[in-house]
Amino acid sequence: MRNVYRKKLDTGLASSSVNYIHVTLHKALEQAVLDGLVPRNVAKGVKAPQVRKEEVKILSPTQVRALLSEAGGDRLEALYLLAIHTGLRQGE
């Protein structure tokens, strides 16, 4: 399982996403143990990856104006407006 986590991290998946995979597998395997489907939960012996908090980079008002100016007429212009006005972020 450590190898799977390492590969996921190496391909660029966020540590929080890999942690979520670990939690999901751990819970599913724990239920399988309780149901008698598997003899033990192999996820118990594997430590979940540390979740790294990354600093959020906020656009300045000048940068927002420049973005919206360039996005004018773009097919994704409404998406950019929505993201700016609601604080949506890429990823997690």
Cα dihedral 78, 83, 84, 90 sign: negative
Task: Kindly report, residue by residue over 16-73, the tens digit of the pLDDT.
Answer: 899 999 999 999 999 999 999 999 999 998 888 888 777 778 888 999 999 999 999 9
DSSP states of 27-86: HHHHHHHHTTSSSS-GGGGSPPPPPPPPPPPPPPHHHHHHHHHHHTT-TTHHHHHHHHHH
pLDDT value at residue 11? 93
Domain ranges for the chain:
2-45, 55-92
pLDDT value at residue 92? 46
